[in-house]
Every structure is written in C-alpha cells, then in structure tokens.
Amino acid sequence: RVAPSIVSLVPAVCSRHFQDMAESPTATTESKEEVSVSVPDTRSSKNSSGSGTKKSKKTLRDLFLSADDDVDEEDEADRDTKLKRAKEELVKSGCSHLHEDGTFQFKGLRTSLHELGQYGVGVQLYFEFLFGFGVVFAIQTLVSLPSIYYMASGSLVEDRMETRGYSYFYMKFFATFSAGNLGACPPSSDPASCMTTEQIMNRQVFTDSDELLRDHTSILGIFDLLQVLIFLSFVLWFKYYHVPKVERVQDEAHVTASDFTIEVDSLPRRLPTDEEHKQYDTLLKNHFIKVLKEAGVPEEECIIPEVSLIREYDGCISKFMEQGNLLEMMNEHKVQLRKAKKENNESGIEKHKKKVDHYRNKIVALEDSMAKQGEMTDEQREVCGAFVMFETEQLKQKVLSKYLPSASSYVARLGQSPHLRFHTNRLIVKQACEPADLYWENLDYSYVLHKLRKAVTLSVSISLLLFSIFLLNFLRSTGGATDTSSRPYDMWVFSSDRGDPLNPSTKQECLELCELKLSTEAACVGSLRDDIEEVLTSLHPRTTVDIDATGLFDGDTTCTSPSFRSTSCTPGLSILAIKLRKPEQVKCVNIEDYRGSGAPGGQKKEPKALTVHGCNSESLSQENFSLDIHCVKFDTISMESFEENKATKMRSDCLWPISLQAAQQALIDGEDPIDGPRVKCFCEQEAGRNSMLQIPGYSSDPEYQVCYDWAYDTASGMLTKYIGVGAVLCLNNVLLFVFTYLDALGRYRTATSLASSQMYNLFISELVNTAVVYLMVGINTHGWGEGTILEALNFGGGPYDDLSSEWFVTVGSDLFFTIVFQVVFTMVFPAAWARVVDPLMRWFFARGVESQELLDEIHQLPHWLLSLRVAETMVAIFCCFIYSGGFPLLYPVGAMYCLFAYWADKYSLLRGSRKPPGFSKSAITGAVWLAPIAALFHCVFSLWVLGNQLLVPSDWSGLRDFSGGLLGMTAEAYKTITDISLNSGSDVKQEYYDEYLKSRAMDMVRSCPLPLFLIFVFLLARWVIGFIFQVFRPCLGGLEDALGKKGEDLLKAAGIQKESKDTTETYSQAKARNDAEGRHQIMSYQLWNNPNYEEAVEALKFNPSEEERSKMGMTKSGGSSIFDIGDKMARLEGSMEGSISSITNTTGNIVEAAVQSGVARMDEALGRTDDPKDNENVISTQGPEAVTRVEV
C-alpha cells in the first residue's frame, strides 16, 4: 500500500492516511476555471471534497458494525469498472484541469511558471530558481572559455614523469581540461628537464611558445573572480528582488485565510476556574479586542469572526488516522471474504475471516486506548495555542505590530507590556500559515519537547551519516600515501646522469665536485663525515681513495681544483661511492661543484644532473652486480648553475625506469610484493605500457608473475572504486528515506517546516557523500587529525598532500566523474519514476485488490517533494561551482543539469505527482541562504589551486610582507620551507607540514589569486558576523530585527522592493466569494471545518457501545497493549509540557519582578514617581535625561 508513495515516505503511526490529507491539494490558489465547474462525485477519495470524505467515513464506520455477510453495492461492480474509477481519481488528484468534454486532464508541459504558482509560491520559485541558475552557468561557461583554452593547450600531464604513464582515456582525459595541465615543459629527451621546482615554475605557456606561463596566469585569477561575482549577483538579485516580488504578486492575486489570521503561542494551558476555561475562546477574543481598542481602533471595527483553539488530544489525532487505515484494510478483506463465499472457496473464506477479525480487534484496541479522550468534551481539554482571525488584514497587521518588539526572543518577551499579556502569560504572536499547511496531530506538542525530539533524531541522523562515510571510505579509498621517504642504506653511489656509470665506454657528462655533505636532517644540519668508512671510485674492480686526500669532505666549499672528476673528465674514475659504517637514512645532500674551468679551451662547463643510488654493500659481492638492479634509485640531483647550489632532499619516486631484473631481485631481497619500492614502480610503469598487466594471472610471462600480487590488489581497488560511485547513488537514496522518516518523528507543526528541515538534512548528507568524502580520502595531512574522528573516518590518509597534476589525473578525475554521474542520475530519476517505476508499482500492488477504497488508495500519485528537489539541486550547484576553479568543464555540466532538471521536474510534477499542498517560500529561501556558502567554498578551493606554484605560477603581489607578518613567516623562511617540503620525502614533509601550510597560505596573495582572495575575505567576514549574531541572538535579537528592518526600508526606498498591498476585501466577503464560486479553499482554522481532518473529527464520534461490541463478538480488550503504552507516553509528554510552560512563565515573572524592583529603586533615587506633575518637577531640576526609562 505504501509502495506508490515510496518517494514521499513519511512516518507517522498512521502515515498513509495523514500524509494523504495533510498534503492534499488546497484550492488556495486554484484558478476560477478549474473550481467553478461542478463535477459529479462518483466515488470519494482522500482528496475529494468534504462531503465525499464524510460519506466515505460514514460508510466505513457502518462497516465496522455490519455483519460479514451484508452485501455492499461495490460487490456488484466488476473490477475493470473499479480500476477505471481509480484511474479517473488518479488524474483528478494530480495537477489537472477540467477539459471541455467534462473530463479531467493533466496540464501541459508548457504551463507557465506563473500558473504553477497556484500550487504555492514555493513551486513557482523553485522552477525560477532552477531556470535562473541555468542561465548563470551558461554565462559562466562563456566566461570560462579562455581558461579552458589555456588548460587544454597545455601538456603538463604528458610532460611530467609522474603522470606520463597513466591511461589517457580512463584517467587523463578530464585532467587535460583542468588546472593540472596548464603550461608545457620544453621539449627535451632529458628526463630531468621538467623535474625541479624552478623548471616547473618557469615552464612555457604553450609547447611552441617562448612566453612563460607565469606571465599569463593573472588573467585566470580575474576570470575566476568574474565567476564568483556573477554567481553572487544572481543570488542577491533573486533574494532581495525576485522572491519578494513573486511573493507580493501571489499574495495580491489570492486572498486566503492566512491574510486575516495570527497564531498565538505561550497561552496558559488551563485557566484558573472551570467556568473560565469553558469560555477560553471568548476570553481570548475579548483580550485582542481590548488590544485593538488601546491601539486606537474604534470598537465597532474590532471584529474577530473566529478563534480556533489548539486543544490537547494526547496524540489521539494520529490514532484516528490509523483507525482509518485499519477500517480500509478490514473493508478490503470483507469484500474478499464475500467474493470467496460466492465462489465457495473454503481456504479463502478462512483466510479473510481471520483477517477481518484481526483488524476489528485492532480497531477495538485503539478505541480502548482513547477511552479517556472519548469521555472528555472539547471544552475540558487543555489549550496549547490558538489561531485568531480578524475581519480585515489591517486589524491583523495592527496586532502584529504591537507584539513585534517582544517576538524576537525570550529576553525580549520579558519586557512585554502587561496589557498585551493574557492572564499574566507573555504571548508569542506571529503570522499564521495556511490551514492546509498544518499538522494538527503535532500542534499540541510543546516547543521544548519538539526540540528534544529533533535533537534525538539529529543524533541518529549524524550517526547514520558517519556510518555511510565509513562505508564510502572503504569503497572509494584511493590507497594510502606513496612512501617517498629516503631509506637507510650503508652505501650511497653518485654518478653522472648520462650513460652507464659501470661501463666507461658510454659517454658521460663531466662532473667536477668541490664539496659533498651527507646529512640525516632535512635542513642539512650536521654531517655524516665521521661515519664514512671508505670512498670508492670504482666498484668493479673495487677501487678506494683516501678520504682526507680527496678533500671532498673537508668542509671547505672553495677549492682551486676539483676534488672529484667523473670519467668524462679523467679516465679511470667512473663513480663516487660512499661506504658508511652502518645504514643511514640520508635525507639531504649538499653539493658544491667546482667553479673553475674544467673544459678544454678554458671554458666553464655547467654540470647537469647527478644520479643517486642507495645500496646494501653486501650486494657488491654478487655476480653481474648492477646499480639499477641491486640498488634503489632516488630522485636525480639537478645542479642548475654554478652561482646557486641548493641542498638537495633525498626522495624515492617512481620516476625512473625499473627493469624486470630489478623487480625480480627486489623480491629475492624480501621487498613487499605490493608496496615494495622497486616492485611497485616496475608494475606501475609496465601497466602504463600494457594495461592487461592489471588482470591477475592473465599470463604466465615473467612480468605477470612478478606483478601478480600487485595486480590483484590494484584490481580489487579499482573494483571497489567503481562500486563506490554506485554506492554514492544508493546511499543518497537510502538516506533520503531514512532522513525523511526521522524528520517526521520530530513532530513538526507544518508541512513547510518539515520540508525545510528535510531539505537541509538531505542536502548535507548528499553533498558530503558526493563531493566531500572523496576529496578528504585522497588528501594526505601527514598526521593532522591523528587521534580524532578524522583519523577514524580515514580522512587525511590519502596519497596526495597537495593539489598536483597527478591529483587531477587520479583523484580529480574520479571526483569529476562522480559529480557528473550524480548530476545525471538526479536529472533522470524524477521523470523515470513518474513514467516507468510508479505505473509498474501501481500495477503490481493493485493485483487482487477488490475494494474501491483500497484501489483508490493504491492509485494515488506520489507526492512531489519540494524539499528533495531543492536539496538535490543545491547539491548539483555546490558540486559544480565549488570545484569549477580547477575543472572549468563543470560550468557546462551545471548548465545542462539545470536545463534537463527543469523539464524533468516539470514533467514529474504535471504528469506523475499529486497536487502540492501550497508550498511556501521557506525551502527556496533556505537554498538562497546556502548559496553564498558555495561561493565561499569555491574561493577556498580555487585559492588553493591558483596559489599552487607548481600548477599556476605567478609573481608576488604587494601584500606578501603583510601576509607574512600575519602568519609569522619571513620571505627567507618561506623560501626554505617551500624548498624542503616540495623536494623531500614523506617523512620530511610530515615534519614540516605545519609550516608548509603557512607557506601555501602566503601564496594566496600572489598576483593570480589575489582578486579572489579579497572577495574571500569579504565573504568570510560576512559569515563570521552572521555567526556572532546567531550565537548572541537572545541579546542582539532587537538589533538584528532593527538592522533587517532598516535594510528593507532602504531596498524599498531604492525601488528594489515594493510594499505588499493589504487586501481591501474583508474576511466575510472573501469567504462568501469562495463559497459562491464553489472553490475548495479552506477559510477556517477550526479542526472540524478542515476537510483534511474530517475523518479525525468523525473518528472522535466513533465509539461503539458494549451492546454493539457484543453483537460483533468483540469484548473490551484487557491488559496492556501497544496502544495503551503510547497513550501513557502521550499523557507523560502532556504533563511535561504543562510543567515546562509553568516553569517558563514563573521564571519570567521572577526576572521581571527583579528588574522592576531595580527600576523602582532607580526612580526613587532620581525622585521620579508615577505622578506626571512630580516628573515635571524632576525634569525642571535635574534635566530630561534623569527620567529616561530603560526598557528591558
């Protein structure tokens, strides 16, 4: 039965009945064309008029007391006729209109947005919001074209050795349109030509260009600033101009009950005497008439046509709704029972007879649990609140203005004037919502208990979200960080980067060294000079030299002749091998090259690169010893000039080719078959040439045998990664149902407030699962968050400690793919559900159903959940805009989403959903409130991208010293930290990571990201001020309201906003016109006048006597049932509500008495009394400031 409404699953004990009625379409905004035609009522459904509902309820009530053999008129109708009626009701309950042939038909897809406003201003605003952002993303796509051109014309992902081996189609395609592909390294066969930070930062803008990239990057920052300004401009226009305009136009076009009504809270639950309590509504009415008189309104104009009290029903309204469900199910089985008897089906007779008795017993149990409520009259019940309706809108506004100063907070209400209070209670008076928007079963629930329930459900929601993050981390893990740390070896071999150092016949460049220092500290503090056992210039044969005689380690950085020359300079010397007494983890090497003339002709020869290997000295004894096979190669030391030689950090990356023999030797040496440096590098490099290597056991070739374990681990990781993408979609939909259920348990008073809460919860959960988890899993924070929940969630343990070309190729591409997949799914799902899934489910669950009532129930269209659509739209907007600074292709993705989602949602609403309940602007204003946060996050991500000098190099701006002073980092310290962090291994980076983050923060004031940084500071300051206002709202509530009012006045004075005109029509005139036109608009707040709750009102009268019970073979249930427990809990909650209300009121009186006592003593000290003459004397003697009163 609930399957047709799975999308709108809302949990109440009686979810189905209540949901049908609470969100049934109201005629508040229906056009005259649709409501002026009278249509014969063939069979009443949930969304029928009030009379039809009463007829249906009376039939079901009589059904309970009727015999099982009594023949009903629906037994005579065949099932096809019943199905036809049910389908007619399906169309009638949707967004339909009356056609000329007298039948109802769905509205066309060309229905204007203004016409959609008849289903609530929130519906119209949603589609205009979607359309507006589609235009914004289209404009941003045009603005991003230069950035896309720069990125697509680069070749960095092909030039860098880290990304060269990845598959283009699967990994590098999206990265070529990202910031990770900006610029091009000069064409060269030298593998170290684009390896050092200086080379990367000074690369060309295009492959064949002589211009540097750093001279063009400032324009990228300006374009990104324009994107943020376009985004924020639309948000501000929509918030301050368009929303008030649409709301004003709709308000002036339609006169509804809320135009005349206020909601009153904080009333005394029971008046002092029973006689007064019976006259509660009259006394409250007289109170507001008195308020109007004191406001200067003539007595004859103080007309209040209706006071609707919210009574304490102890949760019985929900039970009444559940009772309706049980009666329907009993009716279905009675029809099936009569059919079985007619066919002499003994098994069917027995089955359905048991079902009828089962549901009848449940109904009796419900009746018994509500016995106390049944014995009470409405006048005896406690009062939880009220709706007060005035004859004109001007009277309502007059009362609201009187209570406005004390409406912002509890502290403000302490100073509420005594004449505004009702029986000493300080009232909360606010604008009432529409009658159809009310959840009457929750109106008798206190504010405090509602907050407690919300806190509990929020805790459960957070727990479920954390569980989903755990699951997604497992499925989407990108692997741990690659260990680039230096490793301990007892022999370090240095040789020229050209040719084979063990083969003197190959040509090598001349290396002339003056000084060489090895250190185990990243900052090159200290030296291993005393730990050197011997120095070798040849390994085969083994040739050693005197350590002191070389002068290479004497600490003298100036020499008249080179301390070491390679074989290209002096035959017989091929390498420089340093044997240590024990294995040491060398982290830094400082080399001073010889600055003399080392080339023939006296010309200075500039050295290029020095290759470094770490070896175990025992391996020298092996036959066919080779550095590339038996040793681990570290990053090449690049000496770029004679004038500047930096300390070089030792780091082992997979940048250099690893041979099969080296990988096999690594396994022999005991390296890990998955994460071992030589095995892992060999397999990654080989897989780049042969993708089949990633299939475990694909071949028996030696390469496949070496990489079997690695391939199995990689294949498992890829499988879980792709499963993770699907898991995002599945978990988002699972959380949709769970959070919808939990939100409904919060006992919200209106459908609008429930939708708003659902929107925020669904938005946060989907955004985290779609865009945040993968980013956090791929980041390596080097120990940040260790011992906290971040570590438990596996955040910060990824392979990348900063954005890089490799990040865009791996994590970035997967993130882009996930966002696109989520966006496509979000676009397709609503239309696919309305077109395919929902009709199939109706067909499936309607099989074998015989009763008209249940067939009508099954053929109800699902609810169109505005909260869900707004949440998913905001997730798409956030994902596309946040990461667009690095992936400009997300701008056209966002534009396509808005275009397709606009038509898909319109189709889903007009073809596959029932009429919305008249949504207010609440969900849309919530989305508009969230939108600037997307701009803030966009600035954070884009600043981190544009400030990265390896990706987007740029020059310093004039704010370098200022930012350095704020961060406590000098220019020299910045240079040192950057050099250490960018060129060192994982262990060194972890040690300096805090300082590295400061240096990256300094990069945000470079010329490229500077414009974006300024607007980021502005947005951050705005949110900080807003947060302060929220924290201190009880104290600053009046100030906030005053500032808001001043802002509205300025906007109205500038013509941006206009004052909504009060309707000149009175309530009596509007109600008479509504009745005369035959409209279904609810014009009363009385429970019994609300057609959505007529079943509950009828159920209040449903109380079968003992004689009727015995006639049906039913007896009063004994013992405790689940309904008794629920009734006791409801009474307990009601008792708590009364206690809380009493305590709150008493506390307010005590505080007020204390304040008044202090003011009285101050008056006495100033000589001020309540006598105006005495006050005049004080003024004349002490000045007017002496009698200034302090309003609390």
3-state DSSP call for residue 423?
Answer: coil
pLDDT, tens digit, 9 for 90 and up, residues 966-1003: 888 888 888 888 877 777 766 677 778 888 888 989 99
For residue 230, pLDDT beyond 70: yes
DSSP H or E run through 386 = strand 383-389
44: left (phi over 0), alpha (psi -120 to 50) or beta: beta
Question: 142: which 2 tokens?
Answer: 């045009």
pLDDT in tens, 497-518: 554 444 444 445 566 777 778 8
Mean pLDDT calculated for residue range 530-553: 77
For 1048, other C-beta atoms within 10 Å of its C-beta total: 15
Residue 442 near residue 384 (C-beta atoms within 8 A):
no
Cα–Cα distances (Å) from 128 to 140, 422, 912, 1055, in that order, read 18, 44, 20, 22
| Structure tokens that stand for 265 in this block | 């809270």
Query: Is the model's pLDDT at 913 over the cut of 80?
Result: yes
pLDDT 10s digits, 328-380: 788 888 888 888 888 888 888 888 888 888 888 887 777 776 666 666 777 88
Instruction: Answer whether residue 99 shows pLDDT above 50.
Output: yes
For residue range 3-24, what is the model confidence (pLDDT) as tens digits?
333 333 333 333 333 333 333 3
Mean pLDDT of 416-440: 86
Name the burial class of residue 227, with classes exposed (0-12), middle (13-18) and buried (19+) by CB atoms within 10 angstroms of its CB. buried
pLDDT at 595 over 70: no
**How far is residue 533's CA from residue 491's CA, in Å, rounded to a whole number?**
10
The per-residue pLDDT for 975 is 85
Work out the pLDDT band at 234, boundaries 50, 70, 90: very high
Q: What pLDDT is recorded for position 1100?
A: 59
Indicate yes or no: pTM above 0.85.
no
Q: Which residues of 914-948 are buried (b: 16+ CB within 10 A; e: fewer)?
A: bbbbbbbbbbbbbbbebbbebbbbbbbbbbbbbbb
Whether the predicted pLDDT of 462 surpasses 90: no
Candidate from 246-260, 435-449, 806-820 with smallest mean pLDDT: 435-449
Contact status, residue 568 vs residue 536, Cβ threshold 8 Å? no
Q: Residue 309: how many CB atoms within 10 A of its CB?
A: 22
Given pLDDT bands bounded at 50, 70 and 90, which one contains residue 1010?
A: very high
Query: Measured between alpha carbons, how far is 144 from 1073 in angstroms, rounded to an integer?
Result: 55
Instruction: State yes or no: pLDDT of 466 exceeds 70.
Output: yes
702 pLDDT exceeds 80? yes
Q: For residue 729, is pLDDT > 70?
A: no
Which pair of structure tokens corresponds to residue 67?
């015999």
pLDDT digits 0-9 by tens, 747-803: 788 877 887 888 888 888 888 877 787 777 778 787 776 767 666 666 777 778 888
Sheet holding 261-265, edge to edge: 306-311, 383-389, 261-265, 428-431
Evaluate if residue 1119 carries a pLDDT over 60.
Answer: no
Tokens 């403000």 identify what position?
412
Q: What pLDDT does 96 receive?
A: 81
Q: Residue 137: which pLDDT band, with cuts at 50, 70 and 90?
A: very high
Rounded mean pLDDT of 119-133? 90
Q: What is the pLDDT of residue 19?
A: 33
> Cα(329)–Cα(1094) distance, rounded to whole angstroms?
19
Q: Per-residue pLDDT averaged across 42-51, rounded? A: 33
Q: Pick the closest to residue 741 from 6, 81, 70 (CA basis).
A: 6
| Residue 50, both tokens | 């009030």
Q: Is the pLDDT of residue 54 over 90?
A: no
Tell me, what's the pLDDT at 382?
87
User: For residues 478 and 800, what is the distance between their CA atoms, to the nearest angstrom?
Assistant: 10
Do residues 41 and 52 touch, judged by C-beta distance below 8 A?
A: yes
Nearest to 268 by CA among 318, 316, 312: 312
Range in 77-86, 341-350, 716-725, 858-867 with the lowest mean pLDDT = 716-725
Over the stretch 1124-1163, which tens digit does the pLDDT of each residue have? 444 454 555 555 555 655 666 666 667 666 666 666 666 6
> Quick check: 457 and 784 in contact, CB under 8 A?
no
CB distance 43 to 306 below 8 Å: no
Nearest Cα to Cα of residue 401 among 1036, 1057, 1045: 1045
Most confident of the following: 705-719, 899-913, 1041-1055, 1090-1104: 899-913
Query: Measuring CA to CA, how many Å separate 227 from each of 140, 221, 948?
Result: 6, 10, 20
Residue-level pLDDT at 140: 95
| 1137 strand-pairing partners | none
pLDDT at 942: 94
Amino acid 46: pLDDT: 33
Taking alpha carbons only, the member of 238, 232, 230 closest to residue 143 is 230
pLDDT at 731 over 50: yes
Handedness of CA 621, 622, 623, 626 (dihedral sign): negative
Residues in the chain: 1192
How does residue 1108 score in pLDDT terms, banded at 50, 70 and 90? Answer: low
Proportion of the chain above pLDDT 70, given as a percent: 68
**793-828 per-position pLDDT tens digit:** 667 777 788 888 888 888 888 888 888 888 888 888
Report d(CA 907, CA 95) in Å as an integer.
11
Query: Is it the case that residue 1172 has pLDDT exceeding 50?
Result: no
pLDDT at 254 over 70: yes
Compute φ and ψ for 767, nearest 5 degrees. Answer: -65, -45
**Mean pLDDT, residues 145-159 taken together:** 89
Region of 302 on the Ramachandran plot (φ > 0 left; ψ -120 to 50 alpha; else beta): beta
Range 148-167 average pLDDT: 81
Greatest mean pLDDT among 47-51, 327-331, 509-513, 1078-1082 lies in: 327-331
What is the reported pLDDT for 988? 73
pLDDT, mean of residues 199-217: 86
Q: What is the pLDDT of residue 1012?
A: 92
Task: Convert the pLDDT of each residue in 665-679 to its tens digit.
Answer: 888 878 888 777 778
Q: Of the ranges 26-40, 58-72, 131-145, 669-683, which is most confident?
A: 131-145
| Bridging pattern class, strands 383-389 and 261-265 | antiparallel
